[in-house]
Amino acid sequence: MDPAACIAILSLVFLFVLHHLLGVASRNGKNKSVRLPPSPPAIPFLGHLHLVKTPFHAVLSRLAARHGPVFSLRMGSSRRAVVVSSPDGAKECFTEHDVAFANRPLFPSQKLANFGGTALSVASYGPHWRNLRRVATVQLLSAHRVACMSPVISAEVRAMVRRMNRAATAAVGGAARIQLKRRLFEFSLSVLMETIAQSKTSRTEANADTDMSPEAQVYKQIMDDVLPHLSTANLWDYLPVLRWFDVFGAINKLVAAVSRRDVFLRRLIDAERQREDGGGGGDSEKKSMIAVLLSLQKLDPKFYTDTMITSLCSNMFGAGTETTSTTTEWAMALLLNHPETLMKAQAEIDAAVGTSRLVTADDVSRLTYLQCIINETFRLYPAVPLLLPHESSADCKVGGYDVPRGTMLLVNVYAIHRDPDAWEDPAEFRPERFEDGKAEGRLLMPFGMGRRKCPGETLALRTVGLVLGTLIQCFDWDRVGGVEVDMTESGGLTIPMAVPLEAVCRPRAAMRDVLEEL
């Protein structure tokens, strides 16, 4: 780096430090009675960014153990954050102060990835967000509409199981080594392509039994390139100097990935528009989500723009593929490390459903032990461990501390779900803790809380329940080489496994006739 650039960087650092010191002095001078949450020691200019490590939710859990369930951080020179790590604190934020915390902080990365901050997941609380939320909950993700999706989910589960059965049958010894995340991601994407866009993946005879279709490979690469930049621990969101120089090309990589994503989505929208214009819309009950949005566009083109439709599709695909596949992957990893639980779940399905047909969506709600497994997976590995960040639009108090307007709120669901005051032996996988209403009254919030709660909860629960139940019913599962599954967590917006799960699957003899008919 040449001397002029060094001088420029040092000058900027000096100005930021000076700005921070003057700001602190100003705040202290204005109100000495303000009681802010406790905070770890900070570094000038950087604040607490030196504490940001992967996975960030685990770092914040350790800090909460030292500084209490409500503490504050300074992210860079000016962004103040409050971290809540207790059930009572979360309830206070999302009940008493739900409106005050209904906003989202708008980061540079979010503006790049979410249509300038206008997408449903990151839009500011107000009329635009309320309209998007209404469209999502009433037109796209209502209980009735999700129920209508069940045949699609079932068909895609059967297709995945059929491919896995063929792989196992063709393998030496009748058992195949499967990388589950890839299979589960393709399943999730296929369900969404069918329900959102009435489109199918381009499987041919040549790739009929591969673990991922061409579309799934493309979209998974897009997600792998986008998600790492959307977490709360993304440093260049807080340090403008990193954006100015973009030393590692992170911004260019994000922009390129977002461009590929938008091309992928626009292709689906254009195909559905052509189908609608050609009179192929058909029964409104069976219309795809894009078809519904295009119908609404004709009535109100100013609101239902192509950009708005693309942004809604982006949120649906982004949340629906990664979180569903990740949750199911963690559930299978837990079951592989606890074979007695896997056998108990299999016995429940055999008793309630039998071995002459596959599990259906209606069966899932009656499989109480399977529901316990899913709840325990959500407790230990919530798909978005810090939720999406909130921002206070007014001064308020949390846990007895003052939270000034404009403060970012991070709710550490990972820590809340492992609170030893609420859960006995919280780090242990114990589905039985949810049996017979024993966990009633304890806070479980993998989809968030309050008015910004994820609207896709019903679809996610139906999808995870059906795919997990079918995998347990159809196959006997073993760990690769008998070695315990590595449960190390990675970081980012979601909570992926650091080592993607591989397992050995063998078709169950009792299900042979059913599998042969698929």
Would you list which residues are annotated within the binding site for heme?
454
φ, ψ of residue 78 in degrees (nearest 5): -140, -15
Question: Can you say which residues are annotated as belonging to the binding site?
Answer: 454
DSSP assignment letter at 138 = I
The two structure tokens encoding residue 22: 């003057």
One DSSP character per residue, 292-342 reads HHHHHHHH-TTTS-HHHHHHHHHHHHHHHHHHHHHHHHHHHHHHHH-HHHH
247 by Cβ neighbours in 10 Å (0-12 / 13-18 / 19+) ranks as: exposed
Which ranges constitute the DSSP H helices of 31-125? 56-67, 87-91, 108-113
Report strand pairing: 79-84 vs 408-411.
parallel
**Separation between Cα atoms, residue 518 and residue 498, nearest integer Å:** 33
| Cross-sheet strand order for the sheet of 408-411 | 70-75, 79-84, 408-411, 390-391
Closest CA to 386 of 408, 410, 409: 410
**Separation between Cα atoms, residue 90 and residue 450, nearest integer Å:** 10
One DSSP character per residue, 170-205 reads HSGGG-EEEEHHHHHHHHHHHHHHHHHHS------T
DSSP assignment letter at 70 = E
Report strand pairing: 396-398 vs 475-479.
unpaired
**Separation between Cα atoms, residue 260 and residue 240, nearest integer Å:** 26
With tokens 């970012």, the residue in question is 408
Q: Determine the 3-state secondary structure of 212 from DSSP.
A: coil
**Separation between Cα atoms, residue 224 and residue 138, nearest integer Å:** 31
510 by Cβ neighbours in 10 Å (0-12 / 13-18 / 19+) ranks as: middle
